[in-house]
Amino acid sequence: MTLTTAIVLAAAGSLLAPQTASSAPRQPTPAEYRGFTLSAGSCETGQSTCRKSNPKDWTLAETDTAKRAIDEILSTPDGPDIVRRAAARGVTVLRRYGVFIGRAGPVSAAAALRRAGMSAAIELYDTFFSNPGGRDSYSGKPGFLLVSAILLHECMHAIDDVSGEPGFLDAAGFIRRGDRWQFALDTAHEAAALTRFNQEFTRFEAAGDFIGGWRLGRSTALNMRPVRVPTIQATVRPAEAFAEIGAMLVLDPNARAYLPRNLVAYFDANVFRRSPSR
């Protein structure tokens, strides 16, 4: 799941205001685009919280946003293979909702992979569309679209076979503590950086500032020495680390230079299927 929350826990918290432009041009759904089906939100999966999540149809502007994200992912060397493998596991549908509803209520989320029996879909929430042109400033000029990273993150979840494997856990820096895997903080500097992140992130979350929260998570991770993860979200749990690291290795041309060599090598050997001629 792509959450706009601090690393301590996925709390309910301030959500972006739902879209109010009910008269905005609508896109007839479902619409097919490059292997994906853009479908209106529905409660066909039967989850009890569905109505609270505010199922929606797509506006034309939202359709364009999703298409730009898909195009950018498919323009990369590894993106098409990730999308094909996600599709092979039944993940081809993008559904439109207002908010993600967690066990404790609404959660400030941009997207989530939802599985229900034999069906699966990526749900996109209002936060996903809050800044459709927002770009990552740490990946060169102009930098990848944030919506591309969010969508690819969910596709990475769909193909995840390794986040529970010892090789990945070791390469990504997770250690076992009790019945949970936890990101190992190797220095007092790292611990202090994560503490500052959590304190500062609450301000962005309260303001519904997804872009500011993204930049904070990126800058905090990339200013660590040595750099161990591409975003702070990659420290939440192994599955999030897999999705975040994989997405950054696909979209950020600088990721291979700043991430640990053994971590990059693990993805090349166990995740990516392209020829290793980089």
pLDDT tens for each residue of 107-125: 889 999 998 766 799 999 9
pTM above 0.85, yes or no: yes
Between CA 141 and CA 138 the distance in angstroms is 9
Least confident stretch, 9-23, 110-124, 126-140, 227-241:
9-23
Strand partners, 36: 33
* pLDDT surpasses 70 at 18: no
Using pLDDT thresholds of 50, 70 and 90, give the confidence band for residue 44: low
Using pLDDT thresholds of 50, 70 and 90, give the confidence band for residue 13: very low
Using pLDDT thresholds of 50, 70 and 90, give the confidence band for residue 102: confident
Half-sphere exposure of 35 toward its Cβ, with a 13 Å CA cutoff? Answer: 19
pLDDT tens for each residue of 123-146: 999 999 999 999 999 999 999 999
Contact predicate 70/36, CB 8 Å: yes
Q: What are the backbone dihedrals phi and psi of residue 202, each rounded to the nearest 5 degrees, phi first?
A: -60, -30
Between CA 109 and CA 98 the distance in angstroms is 10
Between CA 144 and CA 182 the distance in angstroms is 29
Q: What percent of the chain has pLDDT over 90?
A: 74
